[in-house]
Structure 1
Amino acid sequence: MKENRKKTTPAPEKKTSSPAVRGIKRVFSMIGKVLATCFFILVITGCVVGTVLTVHVMDYVDKDVVVDLRSLKLDSTTILYANNAEGQPYELKRLQSPDNSIWVGIDKIPQDMQYAAIAAEDARFLKHEGVDWKRTMGAFVNMFIKIYPTKQGGSTITQQLIKNVTGDNEVRVDRKVREIFNALNLEKEYSKQEIMEAYLNVIPLGNGVKGVQAAANLYFGKDVKDLSLAECASIVAITQYPELRNPFKNPEENKIRQEYVLDQMLELGFIDQKRHDEAIKEELTFRKEEYIEEQNEIQSYFVDYVIDEVLHDLMEQKGYEKSYATQMLYKGGYRIYTTVDESLQKSVEASYLDDATFPGVRNPEPPQSSFTLLDYNGAIKALVGGRGEKTGDRVLNRCTGITRSNGSTMKPISVYGLAIEKNLVTWSTMIDSTQHTYTEYDNWTPINYDSYYGDENGHVSTAEAIRRSTNTAAINVCNQLGPRTCFDFLKNKLNMYSLVDSREVGGKIYTDISLSCMSLGSLTDGVSPLELAGAFQIYGNGGLFTPTHSYTKVLDSDGNVVLENKENPTRVLSEETAVIVNKMMQGVVSGAHGTGYNAKLNGVTVAGKTGTTTDDKDQWFVGLTPEYVGVVWMGYDIQQKISYSVYPPPLVWKNVMGKIYENRSSGSFPESTKVVAKEFCTVSGDLATENCPSTETGYYKASNIPGTCIEHLLPQDNIDENGIDHDTGKPWWKTDD
């Protein structure tokens, strides 16, 4: 039987691709997969970056403004002022800090200056809200496609202000984003006027200058408020490239940019054609030579000391750390009103540059010297801290920066003033001047430099003891007063803070409370010339003491008082005592055997006191005129004996003060109705009679006049050996009135 089979239609035969085709397909397949992968990676990365950027950007939105415009005045130059002959302040010196900047209010900045800045830097400043989006996008596109022939800046005045204040100038996207949002926030917080004021006060304008006020002073010698339109445009022209358009270095480049600024001002309608043309034609005169001279100028010893005193007072009175006090002094925009008389300062400086001022000495090298000049209110009028050319700023100032034993200049301030005040002595009291050995001071036997130990009785009058600088007499009086009394008066009343109460070194006690220290000035550390000058002011003003000071007040940039020296004078001696000691010291210069006779000035009354330490290592002269007290110190920085033919300090003082008084008249020292002039017997020291063999004029407190001399009284029947009149029962020289 036949098997029945179903017929089936065979499947069509597959066509097989060639190997080349198959290879191409595989390549395209791989490329597709790579592209797809890259696409998804880019999408994912874009999302991540977008998210991060959004977070980063949003981090700046609605944040507090990072720039506090109200604190910018801290970056301002401090100016020192002196008074002219009419008592009006003028600029003496600017303290040099890294940036010379003087803050000025918008009301003092000419409208022309403001318009010039807008025209040159930000034409739509008055319309935008911190960012000029058109300029920003243009600058961005120009980075990739050169649609502008030059590099375009998109920063507005507000953005430039932020860069100048923060110093953030990195060329980075995140910095630009940060700047944009800070600018937007800044304009929410401050007005256009406040932003313009800040901008014009902080922009760098070449030669270390910041701000238009300092630039106006530097380039034109004017305040900004007095600048012409042409000068305003010239200063604004510096802003983009301060080095290229520096008026001192490249005046031609400055002129090109100035004219561009003026053209822009005309185009924007800020000025008319007439003003534009006049400004273009105006010839600008820059202060280049004065600037070079100022740059090379070394500040005076006085300015050095003002800096030291203000720093000290900021730390002491305000509690500032030294670094912060220094920052405030140099960059706080302070206005310091000083006490200096610049004509006196320059006169003393000139004298100390002239070798003829100083007598020759026999040493191989001449000694150093300083000169300190005060008025009688404690105000420092001049300081010169060394001979010859000053070599730098804040170098050693020998008026204030050294302390030395002051020798016999100690006697009037530590001994004789107090002794007269306490009625221990008078002008003519005969003081024991013989030599004594003080066993309590290691058998010390002081000597007198001229070997004079008084008259035949071993006595010397108070006035003569000062005139001749007799050591033994001063020691005798000091011993009666007590060294502690003298010490306390000097330190507590006359601010001689360098004196040593007690100090232990290596088991040994050092103190200035001793006879030799208080009567002869043989001190542990010594005193500064300024301290000594301050102490002697009491003998030129009737017994008043005011602490020495180099400034009257310090104001901040807003005019608020930071520091002020307004202490009222303190009476430390009676008027009559001060007048009497002054007259005694006049004898040092004009009297017989006066140690300061070489200090005489024609037409000027001079009182003074010399002082020399052991072995002539330090020499002094304190000279008083009716207007000033001046102190000369001479010595070596590393102490050695000064060998001389003529004692130098009084001559130095005369040479310096003589030049000062060539151009000044002199008055007279204060007098007192409580001081009376009387003739006294030079033998007894009592008031003279017609029988006294030798007399002189003395000056006495009306409340403490000595008795009449009985040593030369002629015998009379009714007067006994004690001078008692038997008829009246009283001393014969006493009357009922």
Structure 2
Amino acid sequence: MLKWLIRLFLFGLFLAISGVVAVFVLYQQVKPELPDVSELKDIRLETPMRVFSQDGELISQYGEQRRTPLAVSQMPPMLIDAFLATEDARFYEHPGIDPIGISRAAIVWFTTGEKRQGASTITQQVARNFFLTREKTIIRKIKEIFIALHIESLLTKDEILSLYLNKIPLGHRSHGVGAAAQVYYGKEVKDLTLAEMAMIAGLPQGPSVLNPISNPKRAAERRAVVLGRMLETGKISRDQYKHAMAEPVAARYHGAEITLSAPYLAEMAHQFALTMFGDEAYTKGLKVYTTVQSDEQQAANAALVDGLLAYDLRHGYRGPADQLWKDGSPWGQQQIEEHLAQQPSYWPLEPAVVTSVAERSASLIIKGVGEVQLEWDGLKWARRYIADNRQGNALRKASEAVSPGDQIWVRPQGEQWMLAQVPEINGALVALDPDNGAVTALVGGFNFSLNKFNRVQQAQRQMGSNIKPFIYSAALDNGFTLASMVNDAPINHWDAGSGSSWKPRNSPNVYDGPIRVREALARSKNVVSIRLLRDTGIPIAMQRLNDLGFDTHDIPATDSLALGSPSATPLQMATGYAAFANGGKKVTPFVVQRIEDSNGMILYEANPEITPVLSEETSFLISQALNSAIWGGTSNGRRWNGTGWRAGRALNRRDIAGKTGTTNDSRDAWFSGFNPNRVATAWVGFDDFGRPLGRTAYNPNLGRNQVAGGEFGGSTALPIWSDYMKVALQDFPEQRRPLPENLTTTTIDTSSGLLSRGKGMTEYFVKGTEPKRYTSPSTQQQFGGVSVTDELF
């Protein structure tokens, strides 16, 4: 008996030694292929690029993987318990591998020949997720074991668990528990319920097929397994188990938690980062901080959308987006709600379906809202659209606009709703800090998801009268003053080459004879702009445009330059006007303030480019004339309004200046304006260059405070600019611009521009250019160096 015991002991010893030798041999064989796991000490998890406003609001996120890295201390203990109970109950006790589990998997393989993956501890899963593939082979399993043992020798248990819970794929592009909580429930992990934690903890076994969005039934079954394991291991009570089991599966897909809508700007920042860092921008966890402030961006969003919808309302209702049923076969509420759930929303527009119509109201079901009554105040605007310059009769009853079965658009109007439609018109708004070129707000169109074309930087549109301050600035540098008299009289220029005459007209077609330069710019006199261009010289004016950032290579060198025939983007326009706001410096617009890595180290910081291009005196004088474009003035005892008078009424502050712009046939409407703190440009037009903005007739249903007639810069674009500026300037007190040292003031006669001994107005002059003579009845008026009587063209 003793001999057999000795033999059995020796045999066991032999097997043990053989096992050790076998493990050693296996280790030697795979050692060259094992990775250096010490890099886990400094591992940087792949995280997407995020774009923020200057004040930290999330604008967008770019990258294939959604991940929100968290420390173990930031995770609820119950969430950790859910994972451990399901994936590795002895995690804090074993050395990185589970010998019992490995033996069980080996027996299955020996007896069935099936290479089933099993018995993997959390440490082994970390080894596989970071260093290995998911192929089911013995060699891969052996490597996994050795790597796991090595990991355990280098990292603490909490460090290993943190890597696991932040790395593991959990479906719908979410990696790690932080991202999963956001994707499935729109929450931070600390706000998850027990049932939601159990749902996430059940995902590692099959994230694509067990997630509650793709397969709610199987997900609920897997959740039950997790809750059962937590109950068995004593991590939850029976009451907690029952309550969590009863909770419905309510997960739905949540995108990145965007807190500020600025998609056009975000795409510009995205492209900037991509240019700097290449494809690594998507995985390095970059934080891109833009130059916009959230309150200004929100104001810009609302201003442009409201302005475009207001234009659309004036021009009439084009009818429903769809007709879901005819009379006699109405849909039920559930069918309608299921249909609406599949329809997009375009802020602030929501899809709705008309269920019934009364004399002056209609019953609707609105997506995400339910049953609503659409009252007459939200309907009465909807006279029929016939053409861009023609509308039908004013609405008398609701059925003239809507019918049961109509799928329509509505928008909030206070506590009520208003019938609306997706506008065919479009526009852009961009604002800068004039001192450095930082973009403070940017909206490139009505809705980014409808059309990603960024009109702020991509839409080349005719400048119209927005070009005039640049032409006038060149004239002031070449012999003219704000008091110079120029003849506001019709021009009839014969072109021998074409055999026709060119007859540019004022808008409106009214002429005042000799007029001061200040008033001519403020009232946007076309023929005066042409005369100034001719006297200054087209090459000088072209150079001025080039200095201010406009591309003049393809601009025809003709008199039409003075009327805004060249094209520019809204961003170029705002850049040009910034030189009048900041004392004569050209700025280079930028949207990215800085870029940080995932640890907060600054990788890039903006260095604004600033170049003097105008004298401080000229920028001041143009600003004064553009202030008159808003506040008007007096000539010969006659009060006149500038083309931007609506801005003065809206903002009621004296430190603003600006210029309207309207092109031929009103295809483009502009307003560019500024004060010392902000410069902004608003543009409105159709993406179809050949489509005019049209005109509208008075709508008796809308009362007196409505825009009717032609669509111009002052009526169509200016209100957008004003609505934005109300918010942008609210924290800036009204300020008087300092007078440059080389300017002086004197009192002039408003009818002649000469010195006045009696009543007159104070005008600014570059020292040495002020008038030398006093006005008198016998004084012959002079303008541009040519007398009135000699001016024939």
Change (3 A) 1:455 1:158: same
CA distance in 1, matches of 2:492, 2:688: 33
**1:219-238 alignment runs, 5 A limit:** 219=184, 221-224=186-189, 235-238=200-203
Tell me, yes or no, if structure 1 residue 578 matches structure 2 residue 644.
no
CA positional deviation for 1:307: 2.0
**1:260-409 alignment runs, 5 A limit:** 260=228, 262-263=230-231, 266=234, 292=253, 294=255, 302-312=262-272, 314-315=274-275, 318=276, 320=277, 325=278, 327-338=279-290, 339=292, 340=294, 341-348=296-303, 350-351=305-306, 354-356=309-311, 359-360=314-315, 362=388, 368-377=425-434, 378-387=437-446, 390-392=448-450, 395-409=452-466
Change (3 A) 1:569 1:438: farther
CA positional deviation for 1:172: 3.1
Tell me, yes or no, if structure 1 residue 417 matches structure 2 residue 481.
no
Match of 2:774 in 1: 710
Change (3 A) 1:432 1:166: farther
**Structure 2 regions of 5+ residues with no counterpart?**
1-20, 316-386, 392-422, 633-639, 696-708, 781-793
CA distance in 2, matches of 1:198, 1:481: 71
- Residues 455-504 of structure 1 deviation map (CA, whole Å, 9 limit, x = unaligned): 55xx4321122123233433444455554554454445x444xx143xxx
Give the aligned residue type for 1:532: M
1:94 paired residue among 38, 51, 61: 61
Give the aligned residue type for 2:104: G
Change (3 A) 1:175 1:657: same
Partner SS, residue 158 of structure 1: helix
- Residues 707-729 of structure 1 deviation map (CA, whole Å, 9 limit, x = unaligned): 254341899xxxxx9xxxxxxxx
Match of 2:670 in 1: 620
Q: Which has the higher strand share?
A: 2
Partner SS, residue 400 of structure 1: helix
Change (3 A) 1:415 1:283: farther
CA positional deviation for 1:351: 1.0
CA distance in 1, matches of 2:564, 2:60: 38
CA positional deviation for 1:676: 5.9
Match of 1:161 in 2: 126
Answer yes or no: is the 8 Å Cα contact 1:446–1:471 preserved in 2: no
CA positional deviation for 1:437: 5.3
Give the aligned residue type for 1:634: V
Change (3 A) 1:261 1:588: farther
CA positional deviation for 1:370: 0.9
Match of 2:16 in 1: none
Partner SS, residue 609 of structure 1: strand
Partner SS, residue 101 of structure 1: coil
Taking structure 1 as the reference length, the TM-score comes to 0.70
**1:555-704 alignment runs, 5 A limit:** 555-567=596-608, 572-591=613-632, 592=640, 594-597=642-645, 601-605=649-653, 607-624=657-674, 628-642=678-692, 643-644=694-695, 645-657=709-721, 666=730, 667-668=733-734, 670-674=736-740, 678-690=746-758, 697-701=761-765, 703=767
Answer yes or no: is the 8 Å Cα contact 1:579–1:670 preserved in 2: no
Query: Please, which moves more after superposition, 446-455 or 201-210?
Result: 446-455
CA positional deviation for 1:348: 2.9
Answer yes or no: is the 8 Å Cα contact 1:595–1:610 preserved in 2: yes
Partner SS, residue 75 of structure 1: coil
Change (3 A) 1:260 1:576: farther
Answer yes or no: is the 8 Å Cα contact 1:81–1:93 preserved in 2: yes
Match of 2:516 in 1: 461
Change (3 A) 1:198 1:74: closer
CA distance in 2, matches of 1:478, 1:285: 76
CA distance in 2, matches of 1:576, 1:669: 18
Answer yes or no: is the 8 Å Cα contact 1:62–1:185 preserved in 2: no
CA positional deviation for 1:115: 5.7
CA positional deviation for 1:678: 4.3
Partner SS, residue 370 of structure 1: strand
CA distance in 2, matches of 1:183, 1:673: 75
Identity of aligned residues (%): 25
Answer yes or no: is the 8 Å Cα contact 1:233–1:258 preserved in 2: yes
Change (3 A) 1:122 1:685: same
Count of equivalent residues: 618
2:35 paired residue among 38, 60, 64: 64
- Residues 165-188 of structure 1 deviation map (CA, whole Å, 9 limit, x = unaligned): 468222333443444444455556
**Structure 1 regions of 5+ residues with no counterpart?**
1-49, 502-509, 716-720, 722-737
Match of 2:135 in 1: 170
CA distance in 1, matches of 2:765, 2:222: 75
CA distance in 1, matches of 2:170, 2:129: 12
CA distance in 2, matches of 1:603, 1:242: 56
Answer yes or no: is the 8 Å Cα contact 2:643–2:660 preserved in 1: yes
CA positional deviation for 1:573: 4.0
Match of 1:426 in 2: 481
Match of 2:786 in 1: none
CA distance in 2, matches of 1:70, 1:521: 63
Moved over 6 A (4+): 53-57, 225-231, 276-287, 295-299, 364-367, 438-444, 451-454, 661-665
Query: Which is greater in Rg?
Result: 1
Match of 1:16 in 2: none
CA distance in 1, matches of 2:280, 2:498: 53
Answer yes or no: is the 8 Å Cα contact 2:482–2:517 preserved in 1: yes
